[in-house]
């Protein structure tokens, strides 16, 4: 049974009934995997469909006539470029240009934005955001406890969701969203995800979480051959790693800038002033000293998070995320390297419990789905 101090999503009982192996994930009682195991869950998502409870993520509403300018001042991406019904990936930065959190920004209207932030950082983000208000006309609401979030991902995901909604899902482009009904439940239908597959993230009133979860499993033929599988945090991690997506606390942190984490594409230094911009401009002008690179092992062995990286017997960096890649059937990872060595084909050694194992820098993403 969970310790009483762990937070639970509205799907906690469902996870237990499905045989979820529950762990403490940043203060949340979450399934790391179900009975099928991480490899089956990962493969189901790549080849069919996977269902993920991500209700632990945080939702913060920013409403009012200054909503766009306020969020634009706190984040790296250009919020003025969003249109109604569009979302983008972005970063909240501190004054030194380090990343307070990475997030999705949804534009519902010119005066209504939704920020979706990481579970473990929701309280920190809320404190940060509320402390940085000036005289803007905005209302901030931490609605994290009111929402469930369920992600359905994989080549069959959209087809399964179609059986439960009258919304024309084909009209919703990647990183766009709409309000709709899923099995009669009012939901935000967002064509986004953290797996590298097509699919949707569905936000709804947490009271309806169980109904949505059970219906999606049923319509996805859970329990039959080639059916959908519920996926735990372990598969969520291996799927995002194959797609080379950043994970806060690994590739991103308060003392890591988005430029170092290869997130220059969401760092719009030309958009006007924002928190941390000055530090980021300086960093860019003086040269970015280190970069996150992808690597794969070239000899047997698995590099894990925080393993040291060597070049010519010199300690030069560390592994931010390392794991077997179930679909690619390789051992891969992301690591910090000095910029001068961050080149495809660069040979590196990784200290795996005292043994220096060979690996090489490879292009990312490791996995890209065929469209």
Partner 1 sequence: MSNIPENLRYTKDHEWIKVDGDVASIGITDYAQHSLGDVVYVDLPRVGDTFGTHEAFGSVESVKAVSEIFTPVAGEVVDVNESLNDSPDKVNSDPYGDSWFVKIKMANAGEADAMLSGEEYEEYLSANA
Backbone angles phi, psi at 140, to 5 degrees: -105, 135
Residue number, 257 or 323, with CB nearest to partner 1: 323
Distance, in Å, from the CA atom of 26 to the CA atom of 303, rounded to the nearest integer, reads 23
The residues, any chain, with a CB within 8 Å of residue 4's CB and separated by 6 or more, are: none
CB of 120 to partner 1, least distance (A): 18
Residue number, 37 or 155, with CB nearest to partner 1: 37
Residue number, 324 or 338, with CB nearest to partner 1: 324
322 bridge partner residues? 333
Nearest residue to 164 (alpha-carbon basis) of 192, 147, 190, 184: 184
> Residue 310 has which token pair?
């060597």
Residue number, 92 or 235, with CB nearest to partner 1: 235
CB of 358 to partner 1, least distance (A): 15
CB of 334 to partner 1, least distance (A): 16
Positions that interact with partner 1 (CB under 8 A): 21, 32-33, 37-39, 234, 238, 300-302, 304, 323-324, 326, 331, 353
CB of 165 to partner 1, least distance (A): 33
Residue number, 254 or 296, with CB nearest to partner 1: 296
CB 178 within 8 A of CB 187: no
Backbone angles phi, psi at 263, to 5 degrees: -105, 35
173 bridge partner residues? none
142 bridge partner residues? 60
Residue number, 71 or 234, with CB nearest to partner 1: 234
CB of 142 to partner 1, least distance (A): 31
CB of 324 to partner 1, least distance (A): 5
CB of 360 to partner 1, least distance (A): 19
- The CB density around residue 334, as the number of other CB atoms within 10 Å, is 26
- Residue 134 has, within 13 A of its CA and on its CB side, a CA count of 9
CB of 234 to partner 1, least distance (A): 5
CB of 301 to partner 1, least distance (A): 7
Query: DSSP string covering 249-260, please?
Result: TTTBBTTB-TTT
Residue number, 43 or 279, with CB nearest to partner 1: 43
Number of residues assigned to the chain? 371
Q: Where are the beta strands (DSSP E) in the chain?
A: 21-25, 28-33, 50-53, 58-63, 86-93, 99-109, 112-117, 139-142, 147-153, 177-182, 185-190, 199-205, 229-230, 290-297, 308-311, 314-325, 330-338, 347-352, 355-362
Residue number, 218 or 305, with CB nearest to partner 1: 305
Residue number, 55 or 331, with CB nearest to partner 1: 331
> Residue 243 has which token pair?
């797609």
């Amino acid at each position: 049974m969970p310790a009483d101090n762990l937070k639970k999503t509205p799907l906690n009982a469902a996870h237990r009934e499905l045989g979820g192996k529950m762990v403490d994930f940043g203060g949340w009682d979450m399934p790391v995997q179900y009975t099928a195991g991480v490899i089956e869950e990962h493969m189901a998502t790549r080849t069919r469909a996977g269902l993920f409870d991500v209700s632990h993520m945080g939702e913060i509403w920013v409403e009012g006539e200054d909503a766009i300018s306020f969020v634009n001042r706190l984040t790296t991406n250009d919020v003025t470029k969003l249109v109604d019904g569009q979302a983008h990936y972005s970063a909240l930065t501190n004054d030194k240009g380090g990343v307070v959190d990475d997030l999705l920004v949804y534009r519902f209207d010119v005066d209504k934005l939704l920020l979706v932030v990481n579970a473990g950082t929701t309280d920190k983000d809320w404190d940060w955001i509320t402390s940085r208000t000036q005289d803007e006309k905005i209302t901030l609401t931490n609605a994290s406890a009111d929402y469930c979030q369920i992600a359905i991902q994989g080549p069959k995901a959209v087809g399964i969701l179609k059986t439960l909604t009258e919304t024309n899902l084909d009209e919703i482009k990647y990183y766009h969203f709409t309000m709709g009904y899923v099995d009669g439940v009012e939901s935000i239908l967002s064509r986004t995800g953290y797996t590298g597959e097509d699919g949707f993230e569905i936000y709804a009133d947490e009271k309806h979480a169980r109904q949505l979860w059970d219906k999606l499993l049923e319509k996805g033929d859970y329990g039959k051959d080639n059916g959908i599988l519920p996926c735990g945090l372990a598969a969520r991690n291996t799927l995002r790693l194959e797609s080379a997506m950043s994970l806060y606390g690994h590739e991103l942190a308060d003392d890591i800038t988005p430029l170092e984490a290869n997130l220059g594409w969401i760092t719009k230094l030309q958009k006007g002033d924002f928190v941390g911009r000055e530090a980021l401009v300086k960093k860019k002008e003086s040269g970015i000293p280190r970069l996150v690179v992808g690597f794969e092992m070239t000899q047997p062995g698995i590099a894990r998070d925080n393993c040291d990286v060597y070049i010519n017997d010199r300690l030069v960096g560390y592994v931010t995320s390392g794991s077997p890649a179930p679909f690619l059937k390789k051992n891969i990872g992301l690591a910090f390297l000095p910029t001068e060595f961050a080149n495809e084909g660069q040979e590196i050694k990784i200290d795996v419990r005292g043994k220096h194992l060979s690996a090489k820098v490879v292009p990312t993403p490791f996995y890209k789905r065929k469209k």
